[in-house]
Amino acid sequence: MNPRPTGKLVRTATGSDLVLTRTFRASAEDVWASVTEPERTARWFGSWKGDAAPGRTIKVQMAFEDQAPWCDMHIDACEPPSRLALSATDEFGAWRIELLLSEADGSTRLQFVQHLDTEEQLGEIGPGWEYYLDMLVAARDGSPEPDFDAYFPAMKPYFIDLAART
């Protein structure tokens, strides 16, 4: 598999947004379940536990990272089946993420947005999200799981250049 980077960088009044999109031949409700139900998120990102509701914090396991660490993730907004906004802070910084779903003609478009305070780590962040979104695709359609080595460092120059030219 030779994955291609798809990320776009959108400058905003408050920083920059990294935007990645995937399209699925499925209803928004079905794709929503893939990104919100713990037994389904475990297939491509990691499981989670806790009382999931806006304003609450859940524990998410990063199952495909070294040592599969757990992290706290705050649910900023949850509007099924169209919008999920999450935030977390760790040793790498603040993570503010939105998943936006829209359905048309039997397909659902998933727009993944990470709101960035700085573009400094885009070369590391971009390939990681491309990998995880392709893991979601593989989990949904039964295709082979992607190999992270095909994403990083192969995609790093694309994302560094994206920040430099946008």
Q: Is 124 exposed, middle or buried (0-12, 13-18, 19+ CB in 10 A)?
A: middle
Alpha carbons 134 and 143: distance in angstroms, whole number: 10
pLDDT of residue 5: 95
pLDDT attached to residue 119: 94
pLDDT at 77: 98
Burial of 4 (0-12, 13-18, 19+ CB in 10 A): exposed
DSSP assignment of 54-108: TT-EEEEE-TTSTT--EEEEEEEEEETTTEEEEEEEETTEEEEEEEEEEEETTEE
Backbone angles phi, psi at 30, to 5 degrees: -70, -45
Per-residue pLDDT of the chain (166 residues; tens, 9 = 90+): 568 999 999 999 988 999 999 999 999 999 999 999 999 999 999 999 999 999 999 999 988 888 888 899 999 999 999 999 999 987 777 899 999 999 999 999 999 999 998 999 999 999 999 999 999 999 999 999 999 988 988 999 999 999 888 5
pLDDT attached to residue 62: 87
